[in-house]
Amino acid sequence: MHAEDLAEDFPVITVDSNALDAARVLAEHRLPGILVTGESGKPYAVLPASQVVRFIVPTYVQDDPSLAGVINESWADRAAEKLGNKKVHDVLPEHLTDVPAANADDTIIEVAALMARFRSPLIAVMKDEKLHGVITASRLLDAALRT
């Protein structure tokens, strides 16, 4: 089985998209992450949902999770507002920019190696220099477990 056989249509956003809009796409479709393209339309980065969650949690709470209990609900309701004036490029984790895309004829193991190396929840698949689709970690695991 090759990457093109596993690739599926997947929402894509640009690096200049609004971060709050990206968060809404992630939540609405219950995605593990979203593919980010550059202005040229080529894959640029992967934005994991966990990174967006991390961005809305104050650093001091990340450092000491026991402080989360003292934050009132009205503040928590406004936490996502931090994303409203940010672009996607402002919230991208450095280790997931310039993640190489898989080639359409790559094997499951080659795609898995890319995913593991970059700790990415998804990998773009390119065919004839165009985005063919995306493979999520869960789709890859499903295919690997069936073989």
The CATH code of the domain that includes 18 is 3.10.580.10
pLDDT, position 95: 76
pLDDT, position 13: 93
The continuous run of DSSP H or E covering 141 comes out as: helix 137-146
Burial class (CB in 10 A: 0-12, 13-18, 19+), 134: buried
The pLDDT tens digits for 65-89 are 887 777 766 665 676 777 778 899 8
Per the structure, the complete domain to which residue 29 belongs is given by 3-145
Is the pLDDT at 25 greater than 90? The verdict is yes
Reading phi first (left if > 0) and then psi (alpha if -120 to 50, else beta), residue 36 is in beta
Specify the residue for token string 């209990």: 69
* Nearest-angstrom CA–CA distance, 136 and 75: 33
The pLDDT tens digits for 38-52 are 888 889 999 999 888
> Is-above-0.85 flag for pTM?
no
Secondary structure of the chain: what % helix, strand, coil (to 5)?
50, 25, 25
What total of structural domains would you count in the chain? 1
